[in-house]
Structures are given as C-alpha cells and as structure tokens.
Amino acid sequence: MVRNDAVPTVRDVAQLAGVSPGTVSKALNGQGQLREETRQRVLDAAEKLRFQPNRVARSLSEGRTYTVGMLTSDSFGRFTLPLMEGIEDSLGAGQVSTLLCDGRGDPLRERHYITELLNRRVDGIVVTGRRPDARRTVGRLPIPVVYALCRSDDPGDLTVTMDDEQGARLAVEHLAALGRTRLAYVSGPQHHLSTRLRQQGFERAAAGAGVEVADVLLGHWSEAWGRTAAGLLARRPEGARVDGVFCGSDQIARGLTDGLREAGVRVPVEVSVVGFDNWDVMVEAARPTLTTVDPGLVRLGRESASRLLTAIDGGEPGQGVVALPCRLVLRGSSVPT
C-alpha cells in the first residue's frame, strides 16, 4: 500500500528511479559525476513524485540554513521598509530567506533574539534601525553581521549607510546652480548624527560654491517644526532674506513650504526649498511638490545584503562605514519657472 498522503523523500525518488538516495542527492544538486541518462531518470522521478527537498534536513546536514536574520535595534518603520525590500531582493536571488526580529529598542529583547537566531543557525545577520545614528555593536558573533542604515560603534564591523554629507552637498550645489546665494539649513535635533553630517555637508558645499550660510535652525523632524521655521525665516529683515532652504527631512520641508506660503512667501519663486528622504507621501502632498535628496534605501538594503552574502560565502565584505551616495530628485519646490 502506497502512502499517497505522505510527502515524498529522496528515498522515494531513489526507489522510483532505481538508484540510491545518494545518487538522487547528486543528481538534484548537480554534484559529483553522473551519467546523463541517470541524472535524467532521477529528475523525471522527482518530477513525477512532485518531490520537494526538505530544507530542514538539508540545513542540518549541510550546516547551513540559507536563512539570515534581520534585526532592528529600534523597530521596523518607514525607513526600514524600503531597506527590507532591498535586502529581500538580494537574498531572494540567493535562495536565502529572512527571519524577522524586532528589537523594539530593548537591549534584552535584542540579546534574546540574537541567541535565538544563532540557535536557529542563521547564516548571517543584518542589523538595522530607523535612523543612521550609531548604535552599540551586537558584538563578535560566530557568523557574519552587516549593519544597514544604522551604524555600529565598532569600527571592525561593516556598516552600509547613506552618505548624509554628500546628500547635503547635492542639495546646496543645486541651490547654488539656481543662483541662490543666501541659504538656510532647517533640520532635526542636534543630537542626531544625520542632522550634524548634513549640516557639515551643507556648510562645506556652501563655502565651496561661494554662497552665504544665512541661518541654521535645528528642531524636530516634524511638519510643525518646518512651519515654525518658516515663520522665523519669513520674519528676517528685508535685506537678510534667505532665497534657498535645505531641509533635513521631507516632513520639515513640507511644513516649511506650507508655512512660507501662508506667510505670503512664494515657493519656488522667492525661495527654493529642498528636502531629504524622497518620501512619497510628503513629497507629493506638498505644494509645490518637493525637490529632495533620495538616500536610495532600497539600493542600500540590496548592497548590505549582497555584502552579507559575500561574507557568508567566505568572501571579504569590507569593514568600517560604507556610505552610499544619495541622488537629487527634482520637483517643483526648487526651480522657479
């Protein structure tokens, strides 16, 4: 009596093909030397039985699970989504699956997840987080680890993140090229690394382009702060008006354009505005739509995962901080028509 309900194993395939289980394994994985005829016979048998290899058994014997863990320090959020997409892109191509672990900013929880991932014998881990700020390293692990977006504080780790400074430079150079000469930088809290790096890029690029840094306003990553900042900028004395603003986020930029419009300042005629993030929701709802710096998070995810795969395959993925360049996306808020 044949057990039709059971899932077929290599043994079943072997039996049907009239070979041994070992041969089936070789045929299916393209290992060793097999006569073409035999291989085909095995393939046919597997096909006929709709054989699907049990990955768990394979993992146990191979000592490799084709699985990587994705661990967030803070939580999954808007920034991690495109990252996940990119990571899945790279991994999926390598038949590698992703195990989700949301650390929720709790070190204990994180610790627990790490041992769990190790017990599950994942081949590697991508550590990520909402913001590119530095975080404590997860420490030396017996498997490769790559930090994506958020930086590890251990220079021996590999971090793949965006180039905040270069992104800011892009924005300033764009404004300068438009003929803007008195610029302001409106951004998030000073204690965020991104805020400072973008400020650095802003100031250096301004100096390089010979344009004036008229104001630097640091606050929060919110629309409300953007509106407040707009008020501040609009109240500057006649001769000291800014004609270009680089914002540290699209939310700020959106609030700023709203604030400027309501204060009677025309964007982009009188003032050009550039945001950061290329977040569709903000960028499209703003009036005018926002010119912004795109950090390329999907590509960032792809890059980090592909380096992780390299490391898993015994290659050298690099170390230290790899900062991927941002792109400028032109829309209505910067170019006067």
What are the Cα distances from residue 22, in Å, to 12, 17, 26, 171?
A: 12, 12, 6, 61
Strand partners, 276: 293
Q: Which range of residues in 37-45, 158-166, 173-181, 219-227 is near its own copies by CB under 8 A?
A: 219-227
> Counting contacts by CB under 7 A, is residue 15 touching DNA?
no
Q: Are 163 and 326 in contact (CB under 8 A)?
A: yes
x-marked contacts with DNA along 231-270 as a string, rule CB under 7 A: ----------------------------------------
> Counting contacts by CB under 7 A, is residue 95 touching DNA?
no
Residue 94 to residue 189: CA distance in whole angstroms:
40
Amino acid at 241: R
Residues 38-77 that bind DNA (CB under 7 A): 38-39, 51, 53-54, 57-58, 60-63
Which residue matches tokens 């291989």? 39
- 26 is in the binding site of which of its own copies, DNA, none (Cβ under 5 to 8 A by kind)? DNA
- 18 is in the binding site of which of DNA, its own copies, none (Cβ under 5 to 8 A by kind)? DNA
The residue from 25, 76, 129, 243 that contacts its own copies (CB under 8 A) is 76
Residue 123 to residue 64: CA distance in whole angstroms:
6
CB nearer its own copies, residue 38 or residue 59:
59
Backbone φ and ψ for 161, nearest 5 degrees, come out as: -145, -175
Half-sphere exposure of 11 (CA within 13 A, CB side): 2
Say whether 326 sits in a helix, a strand or coil: coil
CA angle 68, 69, 70 (to 5 degrees): 125
Answer whether the bond into residue 288 is a cis peptide, omega within 30°: yes
The residue from 132, 144, 255, 259 that contacts its own copies (CB under 8 A) is 255
- 100 is in the binding site of which of DNA, its own copies, none (Cβ under 5 to 8 A by kind)? its own copies
> What is the contact surface with its own copies in residues (CB under 8 A)?
7, 52-57, 59-60, 65, 67, 70, 75-78, 81, 84-85, 88, 97-102, 115-116, 118-121, 142, 222-224, 251, 255, 281, 284-285
The residues that touch DNA, with contacts defined as CB under 7 A, are 7, 9-11, 18-26, 28-29, 31-35, 37-39, 51, 53-54, 57-58, 60-63
